[in-house]
Amino acid sequence: MPYGISGNAPGCSGWAAVKQEDDGSLDVIGCHDTKAEAIAQMVAASISEGMDPLGEVSAAEPIIEEREEPDLSAPSFMRASAERVLRLHEEGKSGSGLKPQTVEDARKMAAGQVSEQKWRKIGPWIARHIVDLAAVDEPGEITPGLVAMLLWGGGSSRSSAERAQAYAQRIVERLDARAVHSSAEMSVVAIEPRASIEDLSVGTFVKWDSAGGEAYGRIEQVETDGSVSASPGDFTMEGSEDEPAYLIRVYGAEEEDGEVEYQGTDTLVVHRAETLTVTAERSIRAHRWVSKQVDERRTVAYSTMEIRREAGNRLVGYAAVFDSPSEPMPFIEYVRRGAFAKTLNDGADVRLLVDHEGVPLARTKSRTLKLSEDERGLLVEAELDPANPDAQRVLSAMSRGDLSQMSFAFRTIKDSWNREMSIRELKEVQLFDVSVVTFPAYEETSAELRTAQTSGTLPTVATALRQAQLRIARAKRQPQ
């Protein structure tokens, strides 16, 4: 039976390595002080029996049954989280940044209603923003981070947030398994459904029918109490809670080296939900990044910027993109120009790694790695040694186009918020490493696929679990 980890297993006050039995029950095989130690035992046990790890599970909630249609209703602890934020809103304690649609989403979760689209967003959002719970200095203090976590069903503590994250991940896995099973049996192309109000928010990529054919764009504004105007032109549309008006930036197709890319234009249009279809961001090549807290000091940010191999063994790429929006959550985060200036001027000793681990491919101290800021972002230039097997594998994967993503590990030094607490800016960070990555933390926001035909959302995979799977795969390849 598969092995996993749990933060609330009976008889273990820390993190437990567990074994799942046929009836879905969990047996504790080891109790540890840290999550990393529990993961290590889970990986070791999985390797010994040649199976993939189960990942994180909750002993308090039943494991979702293997059935064709997963139950998408919210569990009791997530409903309680939504009920609490609704009480704070009624008491005027939730701040001024909550939109009517956000409040309506909380009411739906309190009633147990969560859409498939919402379930796919919950896990990645909590993973990125669980660190914001640390900003609660006093018991009972209400911060924007706490309010946001309650809205997403994560509760007010780290353990409850991780519990909601794990529950959401299991539902997404069942949804993906169902989708794979269904696609294998279908021999006709399904008609894509039009978007509903709950599917659309700032940052969502959509497509619609236009006079020139199918058009693509990104939602810039959702108007539920007033009017919104498109430009160029004077077209205005009224929006309400029942029928919001969506201001969308049009993305135009550009062909480069025989490949079509979509870039944002200056043209804005407005639409209703019934005219739109949600499309994957990867089919519109926008430069975005998203980050994940990995410990008390270090955060890993993943970039959609391509890396490229120039003549010889020189790697050139961008590990960060300036002024590029994060996933809406409900506030949006940006890395601003100059965020890396001080850490680079101070001579930070930064390594170039693969998946943030292993022997360095290059290093600033040895002058084999050069980092600099330009108008686009954090530029990475490295001389790779072909005698290094890891470097040779990276060079081979880059030349084939199999490897095209980077990330950086950092600690926040300075940030700022706008008055409505809807936008956060990272102004200075301390840099630890830059990495070429095989699997990004959140594939639906950072994976760059190369065809416009791909639609839907790829499943998200927690970084620790993905690294465990990589270690197991490597162990299987080693001669016995």
The tens digit of pLDDT for each residue in 235-251 reads: 788 988 888 999 988 88
CB neighbour list of residue 46: distance below 8 Å, 6 or more residues apart: 2, 3, 52, 53, 468, 472
Lowest mean pLDDT among 69-78, 284-293, 444-453: 444-453
pLDDT class of 371 with cuts at 50, 70, 90: very high
Question: Which run of H or of E encompasses 303?
Answer: strand 299-303
pLDDT at residue number 456 = 26
pLDDT at residue number 188 = 36
Give the amino acid at 6: S
d(CA 59, CA 57) in angstroms, rounded, equals 7
Cα dist from 354 to 67, 300, 367, 376, 435, whole Å: 37, 13, 18, 23, 5
d(CA 62, CA 225) in angstroms, rounded, equals 41
Residue 63 has pLDDT above 60, yes or no: no
Q: Stretch 449-459: mean pLDDT, rounded?
A: 27
pLDDT at residue number 67 = 44
Give the amino acid at 289: W
Residue 261 has pLDDT above 80, yes or no: no
CB neighbour list of residue 365: distance below 8 Å, 6 or more residues apart: 349
Most confidently predicted of 214-218, 275-279, 281-285, 365-369: 365-369
d(CA 231, CA 269) in angstroms, rounded, equals 7
More confident residue, 446 or 173: 173
Residue 327 has pLDDT above 70, yes or no: no
pLDDT at residue number 455 = 27
pLDDT class of 192 with cuts at 50, 70, 90: low
d(CA 56, CA 167) in angstroms, rounded, equals 9
pLDDT at residue number 140 = 66
Residue 303 has pLDDT above 90, yes or no: no
Most confidently predicted of 91-100, 116-125, 170-179: 116-125
- 126 φ, ψ (degrees, to nearest 5): -65, -40
Phi-psi category of residue 285: left, alpha or beta, with phi > 0 → left and psi -120 to 50 → alpha: beta
Residue 205 has pLDDT above 50, yes or no: yes
pLDDT tens for each residue of 132-155: 676 555 556 788 878 888 888 888
Lowest mean pLDDT among 47-51, 301-305, 376-380: 301-305
pLDDT class of 428 with cuts at 50, 70, 90: very high
Q: Which long-range contacts (CB under 8 A, 24 or more apart) does 131-139 make?
A: 131/293, 131/299, 133/157, 133/158, 133/161
pLDDT at residue number 39 = 80
Q: Stretch 196-218: mean pLDDT, rounded?
A: 79
pLDDT at residue number 465 = 45
Burial of 310 (0-12, 13-18, 19+ CB in 10 A): exposed
pLDDT at residue number 54 = 74
Distance of CA 94 to the CA centre of its chain: 25
CB neighbour list of residue 418: distance below 8 Å, 6 or more residues apart: none
Q: How many CB atoms lie within 10 A of CB 272?
A: 17
Lowest mean pLDDT among 29-38, 46-55, 464-473: 464-473
d(CA 228, CA 333) in angstroms, rounded, equals 24
The residue whose two tokens read 């790694």 is 353
Residues 251 and 260: beta-carbon distance below 8 Å: no
pLDDT at residue number 83 = 92
Helical ranges in 257-360 per DSSP H: 341-345
Residues 123 and 460: beta-carbon distance below 8 Å: yes
Cα dist from 420 to 93, 157, 417, whole Å: 14, 24, 8
More confident residue, 203 or 116: 116
Q: Stretch 419-443: mean pLDDT, rounded?
A: 78
- 22 φ, ψ (degrees, to nearest 5): -60, -30
